[in-house]
């Protein structure tokens, strides 16, 4: 097939295809085992030798997932939070007493986990102790801070930083609008939310300074920090958008770097764990590896019609898993 992007380098031939029986809503790595989270009930585990197995984890849709060091945490519309190991064994970590949908999950330090159902966010420690925070509105997203047991909670009109084990009042960060996702920079200096509108909003935590990041054509649904946290890579445009966070002011007064323009919207991004490279999945099924320094591209998957819905690197950065809306999936072996 002729490469529509011209004569760029390609690693398409290094792809091991994986057959998924439905939409891939997320993918993660536990060691070299790739975990594909399917929309309904099931995790598909693909071992390094190419063998794959399906495990029915929930009795309904899987709504959220997050990877820890040795397990994947999932939450479903069955009201359950489940941890699954690389061999497929699973254990229920908790459940909502009212059997409400588990909308968001996060994996924290020392085997702690967090989840949300409606307005309630719950943190469960490694000892099994649970603490509950009542948000002012439905929780839009959860993320643990890089150090300490501190949880960021996105909600309507802003975000909250909460220490579950402390008596101090949670720290509130206000900005009008619907905040639907949250992330903290690797150095813990910045908090950024995705919004219902086509924009991001951020705060410099040292002084609460607001950071507005706009100019998108559509809502930002995927974002990830580059190694070291110098850049925040995002979807939401027909190209990769990179916001600079290296200085003390982050992106304040700066414009983002644009790379890898395409015919379709960038839907999913995943930053390499060791190098300044970003994997970008587009709405037409294209996957590119983009070098941040100079925007150089490597073709990882040719456009195949259905949007890319999931991307993940293993910890060594030599394997990239991808999944699409129509069940197309694979693992690109780069090392």
Q: What is the pLDDT of residues 253-303, one digit of tens each?
A: 899 999 999 999 999 999 999 999 999 999 999 999 999 999 999 999 999
Give the span between the Cα atoms of 308 and 139, in whole angstroms.
26
Mean pLDDT of 311-326: 97
Q: Distance of CA 249 to CAs 125, 137, 145, 150, Å?
A: 34, 30, 19, 23
Secondary-structure percent of the chain, ordered helix, strand, coil, rounded to 5: 5, 55, 45
Phi, psi (deg, nearest 5) at residue 240: -80, 130
The answer to whether residues 284 and 308 touch, using CB atoms and an 8 Å cutoff, is no
The values of phi and psi at residue 219, to 5°, are -60, 140
Record the pTM.
0.95
Q: What's the pLDDT tens digit per position in 10-62? A: 999 999 999 998 999 999 999 999 999 999 999 999 988 778 999 999 999 99
Confidence at residue 5, expressed as pLDDT on a 0 to 100 scale: 62
Confidence band for 1, pLDDT divided at 50, 70 and 90: very low
Whole-angstrom distance, CA of residue 48 vs CA of residue 39: 23
Is 137 a residue whose pLDDT tops 90? yes
Please give the full DSSP string across 43-87, using - where no structure is assigned. EEEE-TTS-EEEEEEEEEEEEEEEE-SS-EEEEETTSEEEEE-TT
- Going by their DSSP bridges, the two strands 231-234 and 240-244 should be labelled as antiparallel
Nearest residue to 77 (alpha-carbon basis) of 53, 108, 105: 105
Distance CA 251, CA 170 (A): 26
Structure tokens at 283: 């709405």
DSSP code for 1:
-
pLDDT in tens, 73-132: 999 999 999 999 999 999 999 999 999 999 999 999 999 999 999 999 999 998 999 999
Integer Cα distance of 158 and 152 in angstroms: 11
């Amino acid at each position: 097939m002729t490469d529509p992007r011209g004569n760029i380098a390609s690693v398409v031939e290094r792809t091991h295809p994986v057959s998924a029986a439905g939409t891939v809503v997320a993918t993660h790595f536990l060691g070299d085992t790739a975990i594909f989270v399917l929309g309904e009930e099931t995790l598909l585990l693909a071992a390094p030798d190419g063998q794959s197995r399906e495990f029915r984890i929930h009795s309904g849709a899987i709504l959220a997932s997050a990877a820890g060091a040795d397990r994947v945490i999932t939450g479903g519309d069955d009201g359950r939070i489940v941890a699954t190991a690389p061999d497929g064994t699973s254990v229920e970590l908790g459940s909502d007493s009212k059997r409400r949908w588990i909308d968001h999950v996060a994996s924290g330090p020392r085997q702690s986990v967090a989840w949300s159902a409606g307005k309630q966010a719950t943190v469960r420690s490694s000892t099994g102790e649970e603490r509950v925070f009542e948000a002012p509105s439905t929780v839009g997203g959860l993320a643990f801070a890089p150090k300490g047991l501190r949880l960021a909670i996105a909600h309507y009109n802003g975000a909250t930083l909460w220490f579950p084990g402390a008596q101090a009042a949670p720290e509130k960060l206000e900005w009008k609008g619907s905040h639907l996702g949250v992330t903290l920079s690797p150095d813990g200096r910045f908090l950024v939310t995705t919004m219902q509108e086509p924009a991001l909003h951020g705060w410099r935590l040292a002084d609460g300074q607001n950071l507005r990041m706009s100019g998108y054509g559509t809502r930002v649904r995927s974002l990830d920090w580059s190694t070291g946290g110098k850049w925040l890579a995002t979807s939401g445009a027909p190209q990769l958008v990179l916001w600079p966070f290296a200085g003390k002011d982050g992106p304040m007064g700066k414009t983002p770097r644009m790379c890898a323009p395409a015919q379709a919207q960038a839907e999913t991004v995943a930053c390499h764990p060791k190098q300044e490279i970003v994997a970008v999945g587009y709405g037409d099924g294209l996957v590119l590896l983009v070098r941040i320094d100079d925007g150089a591209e490597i073709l990882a998957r040719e456009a195949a019609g259905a949007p890319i819905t999931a991307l993940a690197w293993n910890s060594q950065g030599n394997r990239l898993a991808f999944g699409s809306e129509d069940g197309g999936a694979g693992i690109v072996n780069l090392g």
